[in-house]
Structure 1
Amino acid sequence: MLTNVLDQSAEYLFSTRHERLDLWCDLLQRCRDWVAASCCDAKEQKRREVVRIGQHLQTLERYHAYPGQRLMAIFEQRIGEHDDVGTLRLARRICSSLLDSSYRHDANDWEPADDLPDASAARYSINQPSAQLRPYFELLIVSSDASSTWAQKQQDIRNLRRHDDAFIYQPIIVGTYEDALMAVMLNPDVQVVAIHDGFQRNANLSARLRVMLDQYQSLVGSETYEDPSLDLSVALKQLRPELDIILLRDRNIERTAGNPQMAFINRVFYEFEEPMEVHLCVVEGIANRYRTPFFDNLKRYAQRPIGTFHALPIARGKSIFKSNWIRDMGAFYGANLFLAESSATTGGLDSLLEPTGNIRQAQLMAASTFGAQAAFFVTNGTSTANKIVEQALLAPGDIVLIDRNCHKSHHYAAVLTGAYPLYIDAYPLSEYSMYGGVTLASLKQALLNLKRDGKLERAKMMVLTNCTFDGHVYNPLRVMEECLAIKPDLIFLWDEAWFGFARFSPLLRQRTAMHAATELRKRLKSPRYRQQYTEQCTAQDAFTDEEMQHNRLLMDPEHTQVRVYQTSSVHKSMSALRQGSMILVSDDAFAQTEGAFREAVFTHTSTSPNQQIIASLDIARRQMNLEGYDLVMRATQLAFVIRKQVNNHPLISRYFKILDVADLIPEPLRGSKIASYVHDKAHWSTLSQAIINDEFFLDPTRLTLSCGHAGFDGTQFKQLLAGRYNIQLNKTSRNSVLLQTNINNTRSDVAHLIQVLVQICRDIDDSIADDENQALQLRSRVTRLVEDLPALPDFSCFHPEFRSDALENTIEGDIRKAFYKAYDLEACEYLKLSDSMIDQRLENGPPLVSANFVIPYPPGFPIMVPGQVITAPIIDFMRNLDVQEIHGYSSSQGLKLLKPEHIE
């Protein structure tokens, strides 16, 4: 059992909080076994097991404030003295405190005395309700002093803390560069790092931690600086950008303070000559990150006695609480919801349309947290965020390169702007009725085709979904670098509706748009990159189109602009209310675009935005800044646990499977050759290899559960889980459902899911055990769902009437013209899928031209858009669909088509 625990921790080291709790709980059980053992040999064997787990825990506890060196030393002493009862008592005390986090506010938990209260009811010694307890964090000190002095130094720092401080913290001390990196990697409670001069390098790390550190360093690069403190500070910021960093120097502090490379340092002190100032700096830094300008202001507003004479009767709640009929609404939602409502933008409140006060401050803080130049709050979802960006940057006749499988908001944005979409097909996964992503070769080929046809200048924007609904994550840095090598001023819109949380994982962050934009600018300024471009320039200019499609291309540092936009559904992966979204901007030319951008904001933003959604965006930013690292790593950990439990379970795996990397990403797109997150020992090193090398990366938190072998289509299984077992999910395909782990999930959720799947599998076994007819029906359903699948149709083309010119190879089209053509009822006709006229026209003409969008759910992408020529594969796909929800299609009327005589 012990070996299994240690092996599992080595394979799945994403959340050390998860691992620590497992190890401490296992240690506690070993202590119980030690006490219960009756003979000497058995007692010694159990004691050795306690020693083994304790030694493993030591590699983690050195990076955490609690239980700390003092309690761990006492723990080891009791084991050495063969004090089984004393060891059990201390283990129980530490384990209980870690499980309920009471050490954060109860000083008793830090004491080893056995006669102190153990019950959780006695833990709230501060006499404050839990909601008012001071937030807790840990201060990491990188010291050059001898380790024998660390205990006294920690106590000196504790003595600086004051009762009126808004936060409570505990210090941790390490002495080496490597230990500092491991501490911020393994301990999410570290929020501030104070670095002294003279620290050492080459820490004595365990083999496992050394591998983890080496993989991290290969992920972020090997750039070094002459100043060791700067070198460490940069490495820490690359790992966790949110950290506050303080330097305590013994020389040249004035030169350090004036060094532009150290602009990100919070404060520079002359060693420890002002200990109270250092303490105040630590607390103030956290206070600045904790601040939520709009939410704080809204709370103050709700406490004021306001007379309302504006058009929002619900404000202040009097129409609710004084009503004879709707008081239950007030009882359900509480008074604060109504006290914090107003349609006014004066009296201390700010305007989302023209923010100049606390909303503007909140957006600036969001931009900093998410690594952007600017951030804009959106209160009606990422659908609107996408339309804002595209209206601001596209004009009629511009060409936008777009994944045909993207969200419908992008297609409708083309209608609104009059831009011509050039649809590019993603690679198909027909066996699961879904698409992957668009390959880099396809993107480059589309640009090269435009260049060949003399239309590259009209190509203004590229729109890609990162990550897709099913978890396909692009390499934005590589995509933008090579596309900019062909079109240096191309604008990129990355729809990261499902991926906003990735900013707070040092692994997943590498695949985000804002991170890639920052790295692009570094490359363009790098003398080394410029030299590489000069060396390749002659060869690159001589490349044929085929060579350009398949060879690595470099940007022209003199002419390339970095223009990147990211839209993020904060409500989909962070603690924001529904429809809370953000637009993140990293655009070298935003000063020239800002006017049009704000006009687009005016166009699409309600003049009565929901105050609570704005507040939730502000709060979500605060949470992710202060605990996003921990929450995202835990969500990642849970995802791997689910994968392993489902795919390795002897009963569940007979009927269900979490699709793995090789199932969803073809081998040529996986340079790392990693095929499985379950069998390739998924940990930091596995993911870092894939992130560095692979064209596409599978988001581990998105779990496609194949249910076809259990005889369920996606819709049926979704309804079963929701109706009978209280498990909710979003997306389905013909033979799968999508599970997501996020910052809201717990291990109890995972246990419930596994228990439900076991029960469903038992029910299937019972139904077919003695009933051959049931077994035959199951096999028939499995064949229909898993084998007899319709091929996914590619985008065909626009009818010549809706193309930008008459060239046969022109594939972009005037979707707006076709869309509004359908407003003329006389120009439209309907044909049912069963009508033989469809087959006759497919064979002999005239062509079938779609009058609107047709979007089956699943798979959820438009298989027809206005002006598109409908082909036989599209009709075959439609006829083989057995889904109930098809937007844009009426089963009673049939397909809506543009009449041939009204097109020509």
Structure 2
Amino acid sequence: MTDKAATSKGASNRRIDHFFSLPGARADRWRALHASARDWARRGRSDRAGVRALFDALGSYEGFFAYPGNKLLSSLRERIDGDQAEAAAALAQRISEAILTKSYKADATDWQSAEAAAEATPDLNTPTMARGMGRRPYFEMLVVAPGASTRGDSIIEQVRRLRRPEDAFIYEAVPVSSFEEAICAVILNPTIAAVTLYEGFFHEAQGEAPVLRDFLASAGYDAAHIAGDDLPLSLADVLKRIRPELDLYMLSDRHVEHIAGDPRAAGIRRVLYSVEELLELHLCVLEGISDRFRTPFFDNLKKYAMRPISTFHALPIARGKSVFKSDWIRDMGEFYGLNIFLAESSATTGGLDSLLEPTGNIKEAQEMAARAFGCDHVFFVTNGTSTSNKMVHQALVAPGDIVLLDRNCHKSHHYGLVLAGGQPLYIEAFPMTEYSMYGAVPLASIKKALLDLKAEGRLDRAKMVDLTNCTFDGHIYNTRRVMEECLAIKPDLIFLWDEAWFGFARWSPFLRPRTAMGAAEAIEKWMDDPASVEAYEAQQKELGKNPSAAKLLETRLIPDPRKIRLRVYQTNSTHKSMSSLRQGSMLLVKDIDFAGVEAQFHEAVFTHASTSPNQQLIASLDVARRQMELEGYGLVANAIEIALDIRKEVNAHPIISKYFKVLGADQMIPAEYRQTGFTDFLTPGVDWEDQVRSMHEDEFCLDPTRMTLVCGTAGFDGTQFKKMMADEYDIQFNKTSRNSVLLQSNINNTRSDVANLIRVLLEICNKIERELARGGENGRAAFAARVKSLMEDVPDLPNFSHFHEAYRWDAGKKTSEGDMRSAFYSAYYPEGCEYLPLDSPDVDQRLKKGPEMISANFVIPYPPGFPIMVPGQVITKETIDFMRKLDVKEIHGFERAKGLKLIRPDHAKDHVRK
């Protein structure tokens, strides 16, 4: 499609859902072509123009995929132009089915015309699944070379001739001839796993240009925005920014030694002399894929399971004899299969390794995970991210250190500070009272807390900023801006980003910059740029010698790159968004000063990690890394497409939208934090340029894969709706609020899941309408009252009040941190505690006249799932009002029969820290 044609299409072609659906909707476009060709064959020549129009539309994208290739496309074009309706329909059907089922990855006949396929003889060098060999994993290699548009078939055949039966993998070439086409190809085609760059290709696509040209410009990926006079090295840099997992190779007829030594070639796996034998390139490509495919621990565990081993250690279930020889639990073995027992052991030798002190294949697996996630170190954790968070606190926070903490974060952070003795300085997230949930913490609140500490001379006590990214409900921080502005105030701050729900984002070029490691990488590059010092000094000159706190709050602060100690930790619930078994977690480290804390970090591992870690969990973490490095990009793109599809189908359906809706970014994030004015993914007139700009600039964005479905307008509270969907329709959700449930798309979801969800929602809506029709005026009034109680009569969300003075032994006047650890253990003395029933008049009396009520423990209602009371906190009227209005059954830390557990004020004074 030409630029002019693309422009004439208007904003419809630039919609966000259209962009994210481009790879996934390819099969839909082919099915549409097949259906049109089939109708043409039935009705006659008059429908040929429509078939040709659909075929031409495919032409804008098919050059970025190896299959079906020029030969089949040319054959299909000839059949259409030659009025061979039945033959065109047959070929379109065969191609469509091959793309849908991905059979072309294993069956060579899919690549041939019907005539050639009938005459073909088996060849192990083709993508055929050979009997007895098993299917070889398939991938595609992008070849960026001058003249590829005219000699593409020659390049493809040249690559095919390099294949050997002993190759572990099989691949096809995708030739393009320009910078722009190369970028479009790696964005559109998730099957591309390697890229070979020849010198001499063009900046811009010649002739027809894809409709993505505008996107490339808005994202800064077009040739005009790329600095440098060496186009191949510039392209290599951009490709690594888009998809860092790709293996890049460069063939040159110049001084390859000089190119290989260029700092810009750091992302290129191998530089080869182009006139040498191409078999070397072929072997390099296979080696690169093999390097990612290898799973050190899982591979060794499989070998271990196949060995005849006699076990005399304390794990009777190992080898499965106690299971399979039993008359009573044999069904367990039949259910799980033999391998899981053969792969069990409590030994750390004989080909296995120790998770606590890895020196072999676990160590190697963790190093490969560090490469994949873009960090310096990775620790595998088999007790979930709750343990990962506690490890970070244990290792880095000492008693008395101040940690800036979102009060609404996961309880593991609060308990981590109790264990470590750190003092939480709670900073409040913006409230979403209508939906009984909190958002994320505004940057202004974080800066103010740091500046208040500085004004009181206690900034040196601030050790860490601890935030959740993304939040349970999908709020994503501008991680780079948060870290840069905080480092401008205190250059050695440690950052802990709890990305339990966001680990998958590493494999999305749109979301990666908002991850902890993505932002840390960007800050590192900025620090190495001499312009960073200039920018800092220019701002210092503008601010003057002693800028006021108000001035600093309203300024986007630039840190001094010469003083920054970049210390970033990210915890990642691998099991929540990747193919890991439950409780599989990774702890990611990019800390310039890690050598100084490594010993205490290992002590934290010893403290919290099990000495009997589950081997299958470790193996699943290893395998999850392999999958994401080799196909994560496509899987994440599909998850985003699924989520946008759900949003569109729910909110646009004439019946479902009357009772349910998925909240947009404009409803989840206040306008003041969406500086670009971005509204929502599917708002008419909003396109992917707006989304890209929002991701770069806005303080908060919304993770598209997390969808808040409002059910209160259908008369259901969140808990009730979640239970009904699970019990009656076998559809499971995760989090609930008073009037909503959270849907999450992930790499496991398919379009069939979407169809089932929409079918069930429509069934529920039809049932509601039938009941309203039967109930008459009284029924409608009762339904309206129920909706009003859920959607309007909602309790105000209580903010954190303050710690009791007994636990603020050295706190300042402007900040609210406290010694939560002392308060926590004060509650261990029964004589120092009391209980007050929630509805007791004594509670109201104490609120009015005192003495203050001091919480003895954490009180966490589900929903909303955050602690409304923490040990040592003074309980206020707002908190009591909120608890009295709650109609949830699950409140951790609160026994209704006994009431609120409080620390007696005189007991608190007796335990003041000296």
Shorter-chain TM-score category?
Answer: over 0.9
1:53 Cα deviation from its structure 2 partner: 1.1
Query: CA-to-partner distance for each residue in 1:30-72, whole Å, 9 max, x for gaps?
Result: 011101115xxxx32x211111111111111010000011111
1:546 is aligned to: 550
Amino acid corresponding to residue 506 of structure 1 in structure 2: P
TM-score, normalised via structure 1 length: 0.96
Check if 1:183 corresponds to 2:217.
no
Amino acid corresponding to residue 902 of structure 2 in structure 1: L
1:283 Cα deviation from its structure 2 partner: 0.7
CA–CA separation in structure 2 for the residues paired with 1:327 and 1:757: 41
> Does structure 2 retain, via aligned residues, the 8 Å contact 1:800–1:806?
no
CA–CA separation in structure 2 for the residues paired with 1:115 and 1:202: 36
1:520 Cα deviation from its structure 2 partner: 1.1
TM-score, normalised via structure 2 length: 0.95
> Does structure 2 retain, via aligned residues, the 8 Å contact 1:11–1:681?
no
CA–CA separation in structure 2 for the residues paired with 1:381 and 1:513: 19
2:196 is aligned to: 194
1:685 Cα deviation from its structure 2 partner: 2.2
Q: Secondary structure at the match of 2:611?
A: coil
Instruction: Select 2:159's aligned residue among 137, 157, 162.
Output: 157
Q: Which moved more, 1:98-107 or 1:15-24?
A: 15-24
Instruction: Select 2:831's aligned residue among 826, 829, 836.
Output: 826
1:812 Cα deviation from its structure 2 partner: 0.2
1:572 is aligned to: 576
2:37 is aligned to: 31
1:262 Cα deviation from its structure 2 partner: 1.5
1:557 Cα deviation from its structure 2 partner: 1.7
Amino acid corresponding to residue 495 of structure 1 in structure 2: D
CA–CA separation in structure 2 for the residues paired with 1:601 and 1:146: 53
Query: CA-to-partner distance for each residue in 1:272-307, whole Å, 9 max, x for gaps?
Result: 421111111111110011000000000000010111
2:413 is aligned to: 410
2:899 is aligned to: 894
1:777 is aligned to: 782
CA–CA separation in structure 1 for the residues paired with 2:132 and 2:407: 53
1:470 is aligned to: 473
Instruction: Select 1:582's aligned residue among 564, 579, 586.
Output: 586
Q: Secondary structure at the match of 1:552?
A: coil
1:748 is aligned to: 752
CA–CA separation in structure 1 for the residues paired with 2:498 and 2:853: 32
> Does structure 2 retain, via aligned residues, the 8 Å contact 1:703–1:739?
yes
CA–CA separation in structure 2 for the residues paired with 1:675 and 1:342: 53
Task: List structure 1 segments (4+ residues) > 6 angstroms apart after TM superposition.
Answer: 3-6, 218-221
CA–CA separation in structure 1 for the residues paired with 2:95 and 2:840: 73
Distance 1:847-1:765 versus aligned 2 partners, 3 A rule: same
1:523 Cα deviation from its structure 2 partner: 1.5
Distance 1:7-1:223 versus aligned 2 partners, 3 A rule: closer
CA–CA separation in structure 1 for the residues paired with 2:141 and 2:210: 26
CA–CA separation in structure 2 for the residues paired with 1:730 and 1:219: 40
Instruction: Select 2:705's aligned residue among 679, 701, 705.
Output: 701
Amino acid corresponding to residue 270 of structure 1 in structure 2: Y
Query: CA-to-partner distance for each residue in 1:740-784, whole Å, 9 max, x for gaps?
Result: 000000000000000000000000000010213322221111011
After superposition, residues 494-893 of structure 1 pair within 5 angstroms as 494-540=497-543, 541-680=545-684, 684-772=688-776, 773-805=778-810, 807-893=812-898
CA–CA separation in structure 2 for the residues paired with 1:576 and 1:8: 35
Q: Which moved more, 1:224-233 or 1:850-859?
A: 224-233
Q: Secondary structure at the match of 2:212?
A: helix
CA–CA separation in structure 2 for the residues paired with 1:10 and 1:851: 49
Query: CA-to-partner distance for each residue in 1:388-440, whole Å, 9 max, x for gaps?
Result: 01110000000000000000000001100001000001000000000000000
Query: CA-to-partner distance for each residue in 1:843-898, whole Å, 9 max, x for gaps?
Result: 11100110000000000000000000000000000000000000000010000001
Distance 1:382-1:611 versus aligned 2 partners, 3 A rule: same
Q: Secondary structure at the match of 1:705?
A: strand
1:428 is aligned to: 431
Q: Which moved more, 1:779-788 or 1:200-209?
A: 200-209
1:690 Cα deviation from its structure 2 partner: 1.1
Q: Secondary structure at the match of 1:12?
A: helix
Amino acid corresponding to residue 553 of structure 2 in structure 1: Q
After superposition, residues 90-169 of structure 1 pair within 5 angstroms as 90-113=91-114, 116=117, 126-128=129-131, 132-145=134-147, 147-169=149-171
Aligned Cα RMSD in Å? 1.9
Distance 1:608-1:450 versus aligned 2 partners, 3 A rule: same
1:87 is aligned to: 88
Distance 1:300-1:640 versus aligned 2 partners, 3 A rule: same
Q: Secondary structure at the match of 2:742?
A: strand
> Does structure 2 retain, via aligned residues, the 8 Å contact 1:13–1:19?
no
Distance 1:680-1:9 versus aligned 2 partners, 3 A rule: closer
1:453 Cα deviation from its structure 2 partner: 1.2
2:74 is aligned to: 73
Q: Secondary structure at the match of 1:584?
A: strand
Check if 1:264 corresponds to 2:267.
yes
Amino acid corresponding to residue 817 of structure 1 in structure 2: S
Distance 1:676-1:5 versus aligned 2 partners, 3 A rule: closer
> Does structure 1 retain, via aligned residues, the 8 Å contact 2:194–2:246?
yes
Amino acid corresponding to residue 716 of structure 1 in structure 2: Q
CA–CA separation in structure 2 for the residues paired with 1:827 and 1:172: 74
Query: CA-to-partner distance for each residue in 1:476-495, whole Å, 9 max, x for gaps?
Result: 10000000000110000000
CA–CA separation in structure 2 for the residues paired with 1:297 and 1:669: 49
1:116 Cα deviation from its structure 2 partner: 4.9
> Does structure 2 retain, via aligned residues, the 8 Å contact 1:382–1:568?
yes
Q: Which moved more, 1:889-898 or 1:206-215?
A: 206-215
CA–CA separation in structure 2 for the residues paired with 1:368 and 1:625: 10
> Does structure 1 retain, via aligned residues, the 8 Å contact 2:253–2:275?
no
Amino acid corresponding to residue 67 of structure 1 in structure 2: P
> Does structure 2 retain, via aligned residues, the 8 Å contact 1:89–1:114?
no
Amino acid corresponding to residue 842 of structure 1 in structure 2: L
Distance 1:345-1:11 versus aligned 2 partners, 3 A rule: closer
CA–CA separation in structure 2 for the residues paired with 1:533 and 1:645: 48
1:454 Cα deviation from its structure 2 partner: 1.1
Amino acid corresponding to residue 761 of structure 2 in structure 1: L
CA–CA separation in structure 2 for the residues paired with 1:757 and 1:116: 46
After superposition, residues 164-243 of structure 1 pair within 5 angstroms as 164-203=166-205, 204=207, 206=209, 208-217=211-220, 222=225, 224-243=227-246
Amino acid corresponding to residue 48 of structure 2 in structure 1: R
1:268 Cα deviation from its structure 2 partner: 1.0
Check if 1:442 corresponds to 2:442.
no
Q: Secondary structure at the match of 1:269?
A: strand
Q: Secondary structure at the match of 1:139?
A: strand
2:487 is aligned to: 484
Check if 1:332 corresponds to 2:332.
no
2:285 is aligned to: 282
CA–CA separation in structure 2 for the residues paired with 1:685 and 1:54: 27
The answer for unaligned runs of 5 or more in structure 1 is none
1:806 Cα deviation from its structure 2 partner: 6.3
Amino acid corresponding to residue 251 of structure 2 in structure 1: L
> Does structure 1 retain, via aligned residues, the 8 Å contact 2:180–2:223?
no
Q: Which moved more, 1:596-605 or 1:764-773?
A: 764-773
Q: Secondary structure at the match of 1:676?
A: coil
Instruction: Select 1:315's aligned residue among 300, 313, 318.
Output: 318
Query: CA-to-partner distance for each residue in 1:448-488, whole Å, 9 max, x for gaps?
Result: 01111111000000000000000000011000000000011
After superposition, residues 358-377 of structure 1 pair within 5 angstroms as 358-377=361-380
Q: Which moved more, 1:809-818 or 1:858-867?
A: 809-818
Distance 1:679-1:806 versus aligned 2 partners, 3 A rule: closer
Amino acid corresponding to residue 189 of structure 2 in structure 1: N
1:60 is aligned to: 61
1:117 Cα deviation from its structure 2 partner: 7.4
CA–CA separation in structure 2 for the residues paired with 1:207 and 1:251: 32
Amino acid corresponding to residue 141 of structure 2 in structure 1: L
> Does structure 2 retain, via aligned residues, the 8 Å contact 1:680–1:686?
no
> Does structure 2 retain, via aligned residues, the 8 Å contact 1:701–1:742?
yes
